[in-house]
Amino acid sequence: MTQETQEYVDFAVTARKYKTLLTKKYINRKVWNEPSPYEIQSFIPGTIIQISVQEGQIVKEGEPLLILEAMKMLNRIEMPFTAKIKKINVKVGDRLPKETLMIELEPVDE
């Protein structure tokens, strides 16, 4: 029943490749991406209530970026370090899934 129309693929376990089928769960697994400090992602699904910054603005560490409402809580998302707002990908009222890229940052010249 599990076979469906799958094909045997090369599957590496340590130094050797095995011919085998993959499971749906394996194919759909979350592939790891190294988090970038310059990308502000939603840590929980929710709704954007307020955006306090604009593109191009230099924002100091600790200042508010936006408010993400999730599970009836208003989460204040703060600037992790002083940087410039490169791009804002969301607007007030947007409902976001988890790990949506909300704001992109770029370093400021000292």
Partner 1 sequence: MTLKKNILALRQKKAIVEKGGGDKAIEKQVAMGKMTARDRILALLDAGSFHEYDLFVEHEERNFGMDGKELPGDGVITGTGTINGAPICIYAQDFTVMGGSLGLKHARKITKIMDHALKMKMPCIGINDSGGARIQEGIGALAGYGEIFYRNTMASGVIPQISVILGPCAGGAVYSPALTDFVFVVENISKMFITGPNVIETVLGEKISQEDLGGARVHAEITGNAHFYALSEMECLDQIKELISLIPHSNQFKAVKVEPKEPSFPKSIENIIPADPKQPYDVREVIYALADDSKFLEVQELWAPNIVIGFGRMNGDTVGFVANQPMYLAGVLDCDASDKAARFIRYCDAFNIPIITLEDMPGYLPGVDQEHAGVIRHGAKMLYAYSEATVAKVTVILRKAYGGGYIAMNSRHLGADFMFAWPGAEIAVMGPEGAANIIFRKEIMEAEDEDAMRQQKVQEYIEKFANPYVAASKGYIDAVIEPLETRELLLHALEVSKNKDDYRPAKKHGIPPF
Task: Provide the minimum distance between the beta carbon of 90 and partner 1 in the complex, in angstroms, as a whole number.
Answer: 13
Task: Provide the minimum distance between the beta carbon of 4 and partner 1 in the complex, in angstroms, as a whole number.
Answer: 11
Q: What separation in angstroms does the CA of 9 have from each of 6, 14, 27, 32, 75?
A: 9, 16, 12, 21, 44
Which residues lie near partner 1 (CB under 8 A)?
1-2, 8, 11, 13-26, 29-32, 44-47, 70-72, 95-97
Nearer to partner 1, 12 or 109 (CB): 12
How many of the other CB atoms lie within 10 Å of CB of 53?
A: 16
Nearer to partner 1, 54 or 97 (CB): 97
Task: Provide the minimum distance between the beta carbon of 38 and partner 1 in the complex, in angstroms, as a whole number.
Answer: 21
CA dihedral angle for residue 95, residue 97, residue 98, residue 100, rounded to 10 degrees: -80
Nearer to partner 1, 42 or 79 (CB): 42
Q: Which two tokens stand for residue 66?
A: 């936006």
